Chain A
Amino acid sequence: EAAVTQSPRSKVAVTGGKVTLSCHQTNNHDYMYWYRQDTGHGLRLIHYSYVADSTEKGDIPDGYKASRPSQENFSLILELASLSQTAVYFCASSPNYEQYFGPGTRLTVL
């Protein structure tokens, strides 16, 4: 059974709408991460968390919020979705330096 799951797997959102992407891990890992991948490019870090109820900004946090209500769950929130946020979003969990990725969520903002 997959240890890092993401929901939804794909979503179409309207510009200006609110989008919440969810990530759940059963690895019992302390660290969780949100990345985005744009077509043809590598992953870029948006937010991460090393403990429940605490989040940290990554390299490209603008336009995103994150929430870690428990060790298992980590959400990425787009309060006002924009066209430029169309991408594939990956969640990962990690006990240390090795990260385990979820299957990704394809978000299309129209």
Chain B
Amino acid sequence: AQKVIQVWSTASRQEGEELTLDCSYETSQVLYHLFWYKHLLSGEMVFLIRQMSSSTAKERSGRYSVVFQKSLKSISLVISALQPDDSGKYFCALWERGNTGGLSGKLTFGEGTQVTVIS
């Protein structure tokens, strides 16, 4: 079964609008992290924002913010005031601690949502 699910494979909005990308996940760990990455056409994977499972703060970074519903194991990325450069593929990822101890862990990615911003 998939551990990280991004229901929508594509999404499109007009420039200036707001877009919410949904992600659900499965984990048995108490402490974990959730990340949103953007995959650029250049191939680069860019970190956008992080949510710690232990945090109740509403994380925000520039025009990016998250809606974290821990009890539902759901996290959404909200992109406000969309710009054409926001077009790209967005990935949700779950970080869980590994078995080797220390701070080692691994990321499990969703399949991504391709976003198109229409000018």
Contact = CB atoms under 8 A, between A and B. Distances in A.
B103 A103 contact: no
A42 B110 contact: yes
Interface in B14-56: 33, 35, 37, 42-45, 47, 50
Interface residues of A, number: 29
B43 A97 contact: no
A65 interface: no
Interface stretch (A16-24, A43-51, A67-75, A77-85): A43-51
Given A40-B111, A42-B4, A48 B47 contact: no
27 contacts: A33-B106, A33-B107, A35-B109, A42-B91, A42-B93, A42-B109, A42-B110, A42-B111, A43-B45, A43-B109, A44-B109, A45-B108, A48-B104, A48-B106, A50-B104, A56-B98, A58-B106, A59-B106, A59-B108, A98-B47, A99-B47, A100-B47, A101-B44, A103-B42, A104-B43, A104-B44, A106-B43
Interface of A: 9, 30-31, 33, 35, 40-45, 48, 50, 56, 58-59, 88, 90, 92, 95-101, 103-104, 106
